[in-house]
Amino acid sequence: MVLHEDGDAVIAVGQPSHAWLSGQLARAWGNERFGAVSPWEEVCLGAEQHDVGMAGWDLEPELNPETGRPRSFMEMALETHLELWSAAPGRLRAQSRYAALLVSMHGTGLYERRDLAALEAEQAREVRDFLRSGRALQDELLAELRADPATAAHADPATVARNRSLVWTWDSLSLALLLDWTPHEARDVPARDGVLAMSLRAQDGSPGRCSLDPWPFSSDRVGVRCEGRRLEGRYEDEEEMRAALGRAPWVTLAFELVPAEDAGRGG
C-alpha cells in the first residue's frame, strides 16, 4: 500500500492501483529518442500487474501501531514482503509468461539491491532463498519463451534486459508522483541508443503537474491517474482501522506530465 499524505488524512492507494499508474505510463511511452515498447501488450501488462502479489494484502492491510495507519509497502515485515513477492509471478503466469518473467525480475531486482550484511542471519538466508528460486523460475520461463516461435524474438537477453529496466523506470516514476518525491531522478532509463537519466519536477502552483526531461512520450502531454481511499484519523485497533478504511471515501489522484520546455505554460 502506498500512503499519499493529504493534510491530516492519508490517501491509501493499493499497490495494484499504483501499478495501474505504471501501466498507463507504459502505454504512453515511446518516441524517436526512446524507441518503442516491444512486445507491446506483454510489457504493458507486466508494468500494470507488477504488484499483483499485493492485491489480497491491500484489501486487509496490517496496522502500523507506530503511525496508527495501515502499513505502507515500505513498512512491511521482510517475511511478509518475501511471501507476497514469491507468489506474484505464478499468479500472472496464468495470463502471460512474458509478463510473469518481468514481474519475477522486478521482485528479484528489489532484493538484489538489499544489503544482506545489514540483515539478521535468518533474514539474509530467506532473501538468498528467494533470489535463488526467482532466478530458477526466470530460467524456466526464458527457456519456454525462447522455444516458442510466437515469443522467441522478444526473449533475447538484450530485449529482456531493456524491458526489465523499463518496468523499473515506470515503477520509480509512479512512486515519485504518489509520494511527492520530486525533484526525482530516474537513472539508467532505456533509450534508443543506450541509457540516460530522467528528471521529474513538480510545477509550483500547479498541483499534480510535473515536467519530465528528457521527454519519453509521443504525445505532447500525458495524463495518468489512480484511486485510493481517504482515511482520516489514527487507530490503535487493527480491525477498527480496516473497518474505517472500508468506509473511507474513494479519491482519484490525477497527474499531468509535460515536457520541461512547456513546464512554465498553463494548460
Strands, DSSP E only, in 95-207? 184-190, 195-202
Closest C-alpha among 17, 143, 34, 130 to residue 80: 130
Note whether 72 and 2 are within 8 A (CB): yes
pLDDT of residue 263: 65
Note whether 256 and 202 are within 8 A (CB): no
**Pairing outcome for strands 9-13 and 222-231:** antiparallel
Q: Give tens-digit pLDDT for 18-41.
A: 999 999 999 999 999 999 999 999
Match 527457456 to its residue by C-alpha cell.
143
pLDDT at 267 over 70: no
Q: Which of 181 and 265 is assigned the larger pLDDT?
A: 181
pLDDT at 67 over 80: yes
Query: Averaged over 134-152, what is the pLDDT?
Result: 98
pLDDT of residue 188: 96
pLDDT of residue 144: 98
pLDDT of residue 262: 74
Q: Give tens-digit pLDDT for 111-122.
A: 999 999 999 999
pLDDT at 218 over 70: yes
Query: Averaged over 69-96, what is the pLDDT?
Result: 96
Q: Give tens-digit pLDDT for 165-214.
A: 999 999 999 999 999 999 999 999 999 999 999 999 999 888 999 999 99
Q: Going by C-beta distance under 8 Å and a sequence separation of 6 or more, which residues neighbour residue 86?
A: 53, 107, 130, 133, 134
pLDDT of residue 266: 53
pLDDT band at 45 (very low <50, low <70, confident <90, very high): very high
Torsion sign across C-alpha atoms 143, 147, 150, 154: positive
pLDDT band at 53 (very low <50, low <70, confident <90, very high): very high
R_g of the chain computed on alpha carbons: 19
**Pairing outcome for strands 222-231 and 250-259:** antiparallel
pLDDT at 265 over 80: no
Query: Averaged over 238-266, what is the pLDDT?
Result: 91
Closest C-alpha among 169, 150, 166 to residue 158: 166
As a whole-number percent, the residues of the chain with pLDDT over 70 amount to 98
Query: Averaged over 135-155, what is the pLDDT?
Result: 98
Q: Give tens-digit pLDDT for 233-248.
A: 999 999 999 999 999 9
All cell numbers assigned to 229? 481511499
All cell numbers assigned to 194? 543506450
pLDDT band at 264 (very low <50, low <70, confident <90, very high): low
pLDDT of residue 205: 84
Residue 207, burial from CB neighbour count under 10 angstroms (0-12, 13-18, 19+): exposed
